[in-house]
Amino acid sequence: MKLVFATGNSHKLQEAQEILGPGFTLVSPASLGLTEEIPETGTTLEANSLEKADYIYKHLGTDCFADDSGLEVDYLGGGPGVYTARYADGEPQYKDNLEKLLHVLKDVPWEKRTARFRAVVTLIIGNEVKQFEGVLEGRIGTERKGNGGFGYDPIFIPNEIPDQVGNDDACSVMPGLTGHLVPNTQGIANAELPEGGKNAISHRGQCMRAMAEYLKSRK
Ligand code: IMP
């Protein structure tokens, strides 16, 4: 099944392809000639994700999906939330956002550093619109760790991790792995997990797997 993923973020495209597996061919809007920035003017993840999917459907007329995600930090009253990508001033890079968050939380004790990634995926197929939500609970670490993932992954410490985490092969050959989560007692950051391990627990992974199940069920 061919689907357009309304994103210009190559990390997300690669991650989604990995999660959905070979039964799905994901293409970017740019590869179909749509290179302008997709508008994102909503104040909720649901609204933004719908706006992006709708934009693609109207401009390309193809089955598609879009995601919107954010980091909710309890100490910041759930912020930066929908504004996560634009947390630092100007036109921030990932590292600017991450450094700002570390700075803002520098005196906040471990027990108050609770946070979650939330994602909402909107699928438009035929004239059907469906949304899927995923949440990954964890804490904001006090320093950067690991080289994997993107965005805030070096400072996000998930509460639970797949028990095969010490075994890269097991995770990368089981991208759909969902069971056997164990407490993250060593404080491993998202960016230290093998790709399959992050996908197995991530907010977007949860959405994508739910979407894949839904697509299979309507065949
Ligand atoms: P958007 O969904 O593209 O609007 O992005 C929201 C922002 O949340 C991104 O720019 C990242 O900084 C952050 N983010 C979303 N998902 C992840 C993730 O899986 N790991 C790390 N950061 C993420």
Q: How many whole angstroms separate alpha carbon 191 and alpha carbon 202?
A: 12
**117 CB less than 6 Å from ligand 1?**
yes
Residue 160 forms beta bridges with which residues?
183
67 catalytic residue (yes or no): no
pTM assigned to the model: 0.91
Instruction: State which ligand 1 atom lies nearest to the alpha carbon of 70.
Output: 8
**153 CB less than 6 Å from ligand 1?**
yes
Please tell me the residue having the least CA distance from ligand 1 atom 10: 85
HEC letters along 132-149: EEEEEEEEECCCCCCCCC
Q: Which of 37, 69, 120 to mutate to test the pocket of ligand 1 (most atoms within 8 A of CB)?
A: 69
Per-residue pLDDT of the chain (219 residues), as tens digits, is 899 999 988 888 988 898 888 889 999 999 999 999 999 999 999 999 999 999 999 999 999 999 999 999 999 999 999 999 999 999 889 999 999 999 999 999 999 999 999 999 999 998 899 999 999 999 999 999 999 989 999 999 999 998 765 554 444 434 445 457 889 999 999 999 887 888 889 999 999 999 999 998 986
Report residue 27: phi and psi, to 5°: -125, 150
